[in-house]
Structure 1
Amino acid sequence: MVASECASLSGSAVSTVALPTLAVLELHASTTQIATLAFLGQLPNAVVALPAGALSDRHAKRPQMITADLTAAAALSTIPAAAFAGVLGIGQLYAVAVILGITKIVHGAAAISYLPVLVEPHLLQGANSRLGAASSVADSAGSNAGAALVGAVGTARSLLADVLSYLISALLVWRIRTPEPVAAPAEGRRSLVRDIWEGLRYVAGQPMIRTVIGALSTLSFGLAIMNTYWAYHLFVGLHVSPTAFGVIMGIGGAGSLAGALLAPRIASRIGLGPTIIIGFAVSPLAQVPLLLAGPGLRWQIALAGTLAVQLFWATASGASQRPLRQILCEPRMQAASTTVTAGARPLAAAAAGALVLCLGVRSTLAIGAALQIVPVILLLFSPVRALRDMPVPPSRTAVPRAREGAA
């Protein structure tokens, strides 16, 4: 599973460099088109996550991951084909962004629920840390490879690397032979709507999960506002080249790798809750250089350094809160948390488009950075602050109302 996630993420990192470059520098997308592209790419988070989580709870997860990978590969392959034929337009990027968003949600919902099938609960934090470390290496390598490929073969054709990565990911998932628990017979299952509702109710009623999800959703909204125009600001406002953009992303990936490797040690030394809180607190501070930056190599080095620090703590925090959700939540509950966390991102992209028209790009980025202070306050006045060790899984204590009848 680690190899599969690495293959997928390394290719996606190529797309992270190639797609903004394609939209901004080759298709000359306007600020409104950039916001639309971001909105459509994030829309599946609000629409697909809940059904995907409920379906992941009911059906085998491995076929879902394989299908999602193959669909993503097919969608991405249309971009270099259209570019070769000379018919590539922003409308096709819109369609591919929607499909990639859907496949990412389906794959992610199955993957986050599949790991506990492969790993015992007390090993989840270590497994997530190792998975995060391997993924960070793949992400960093993919970003640098993306920059090199854009320069060597062109933006559109560089996406073929991502197509290949999805195919490799599907093959590696297909080779996993660990049996999954047998799903309940169809006649004994509850309705899909009821599963979704119970997932939402559980998230709202579990204090620890409710706080973490509230903080994640606020942080996600602020970051989504910034990410809508982050690449645009670097390319147009700061005159960063595609190669330099890839190097910045690669250095950030190196910080993410260090955070993943050190996450268990950090959490054991200062506690699980403080690790999560520090990860949130670093994010708004890391945006300050971006808001002050101008063109030039010195600012590019500063941006790369602060991105590395931000992703170091973000990954360490994620390696702590991800197993927390895996222990406390079933798949449909994880999907509910994903929907609450990421469902506002399309609204954030739309808000970013409106803010840019009124205030400009830099002021919009500043608003997105300011919003990231809110989750830090939420966490400081919550049970998460006192959390030192991973909690006991609910199945070993009392069964929450959302799990009644699950047997």
Structure 2
Amino acid sequence: MTVSTRGPQASAWASRSFRYLLGSEAVSLSGSAVSTIALPALAVLKLHASATEVAVLAFVGQLPNTLALWAGALSDRYDKRRQLIGADLAAAGALVTVPAAALGGVLTIGQLYVVLLVTGAAKVVHDAAAISLLPAVVTPKQLQGANSRLGAASSVADSAGSNAGAALVGAVGPATSVLADAASFLVSAVLVWRIHTPRPSGRSAEEGRRSLMRDIAEGVRYVIGQPTIRTVIAALSALSFGLAIMNTYWAFHLLTTLGVSPAGLGVIMGVGGVGSLAGALLAPRVAARIGIGPTIVAGFAVSPLAQLPLLLAGPGLGWQVTLAAALTVQLFWATASGTSQRSLRQTLCDPRFQGRMQAASTTVTAGSRPLAAACAGALALVLGVPTVLAVGALLQVVPVVLLLASPVRTLRDMPAPTVPAAVPPAREGTS
């Protein structure tokens, strides 16, 4: 049985809790986009970070993603709202130390490492709770539309935040600009506090005594036993690894080799955000026209092709325009595909495992990025940054092959929501 994606989508806007969740995600993402501009500019232009230090910065920023399984298990076990609020407050507290240290003249690259560790851990907890909370605030029929709105809000937030970040860096400097990100997390916490969801049922005495590791193992077994979810997550992991290798030196390459200014970097990212916005808004229509599966595959297939201009680019305004255009196309299909695959996974997943399913995805996708950053740093020492970018682009072909070899490519309509399924039993002697 399937749920047709053709025709008008049910609206999630009627849910006040969804509107608060949407606002929370949008404001925190816009603030984070400011830091995406400000922190690399601060490291490269103010602290004069070397290529190795830039790679370490990327590695440290991604390292907390290895905690995703624990965050997912916690989100399935405890109140998601409290986890969201706590994560937002922790991130805000870490970020305000950057301008404070800069004002006192004691800011170091080491402090940026610590700040990225804290904000990265907060993001892992936030994402596990937020994504698994969505099916609790909208109905199954509203899920595709809700993810589309979230994707659109994320695109607007990224674009606005990137442009605001570029403007703030130019006006008040990169260190002071980080305050905008800290403020955004405080606003997000207030919005999450206003979300109302049904109170979860009390946990049994046996569940209360059960170790968190047992919950994690149970969630992993569940995901492995779901063929479609498993395939999509594997493809996401391969794509993430290739992108992470490129992203380790993406901003560094533009700021140094290509001579792009911080303002120009913000403009390129902001223009690309227009494609992301269009992809999010049009995702339900694209899926209705060509099918859920082909939409997902197309998003993965466009990614390696969109990297070609970067590999060929040189200094100059013409190349900057070309890079902005390529990023726009890439982000259109990436967001349309991302909205569709996220809705597909949430629809197919047993409600009891939403947090752990998302955590498993984060672990094998974002969790591979520290290794990718380390590989990029090592390769750059031997082969140089341009070759590292080429390797990252080539690796992005792998997930396309995985999806084309799976039933995902033939999936036309959204499957019916899953019913609670049995979990494969633990082996003798495991817990």
TM-score range, shorter-chain basis? over 0.9
2:371 maps to what in 1? 347
2: CA distance, partners of 1:279 / 1:229 = 23
Is 1:99 aligned to 2:121, yes or no?
Answer: no
1: CA distance, partners of 2:65 / 2:106 = 29
SS at match of 1:393: coil
**Shift in Å, 1:324:** 1.5
1: CA distance, partners of 2:424 / 2:151 = 30
Is 1:243 aligned to 2:237, yes or no?
Answer: no
- Counterparts of residues 79-94 of structure 1 (less than 5 Å): 79-94=98-113
SS at match of 2:203: coil
Amino acid at match of 1:85: G
1:164 maps to what in 2? 183
**Normalising by the residue count of structure 1, what TM-score does the alignment of the two structures yield?**
0.96
Kept in 2, the 8 Å contact 1:11–1:161? The answer is yes
2: CA distance, partners of 1:185 / 1:21 = 51
- Counterparts of residues 146-295 of structure 1 (less than 5 Å): 146-189=165-208, 190-295=210-315
1:372 maps to what in 2? 396
SS at match of 1:159: helix
Is 1:298 aligned to 2:318, yes or no?
Answer: yes
- Counterparts of residues 118-157 of structure 1 (less than 5 Å): 118-157=137-176
Q: Which runs of 5+ in 2 are unaligned?
A: 1-20, 427-431
**Normalising by the residue count of structure 2, what TM-score does the alignment of the two structures yield?**
0.91
Moved more, 102-111 or 199-208: 199-208
Is 1:357 aligned to 2:375, yes or no?
Answer: no
The Cα offsets for residues 181-222 of structure 1, whole Å up to 9 and x where unpaired, read as: 224235434321111112212222211011101110000000
Is 1:332 aligned to 2:356, yes or no?
Answer: yes
Amino acid at match of 2:131: I
2: CA distance, partners of 1:366 / 1:155 = 30
2: CA distance, partners of 1:244 / 1:186 = 58
2:429 maps to what in 1? none
The Cα offsets for residues 268-314 of structure 1, whole Å up to 9 and x where unpaired, read as: 11000000000000000000000000000000000111101101100
How many percent of aligned residue pairs carry the same amino acid?
71
1: CA distance, partners of 2:271 / 2:322 = 11
**Shift in Å, 1:105:** 0.4
Kept in 2, the 8 Å contact 1:200–1:337? The answer is no
1:70 maps to what in 2? 89
Moved more, 133-142 or 228-237: 133-142
RMSD: 1.3
SS at match of 2:252: helix
The Cα offsets for residues 67-126 of structure 1, whole Å up to 9 and x where unpaired, read as: 000100000000000000000000000001111110000000000111001011121111
Kept in 2, the 8 Å contact 1:117–1:180? The answer is no
**Shift in Å, 1:166:** 0.5
1: CA distance, partners of 2:81 / 2:227 = 31
2:23 maps to what in 1? 3
1: CA distance, partners of 2:356 / 2:286 = 30
1:313 maps to what in 2? 333
2: CA distance, partners of 1:38 / 1:226 = 11
- Specify whether residues 403 and 248 from structure 1 end up closer, same or farther in structure 2 by C-alpha distance, changes over 3 A only: farther
2: CA distance, partners of 1:72 / 1:109 = 15
- Specify whether residues 186 and 309 from structure 1 end up closer, same or farther in structure 2 by C-alpha distance, changes over 3 A only: farther
**Shift in Å, 1:139:** 1.1
**Shift in Å, 1:393:** 2.4
**Runs of 4+ displaced beyond 6 Å:** none
2: CA distance, partners of 1:53 / 1:20 = 29
**Count of matched residue positions in the alignment of Structure 1 and Structure 2:** 401
2:405 maps to what in 1? 381
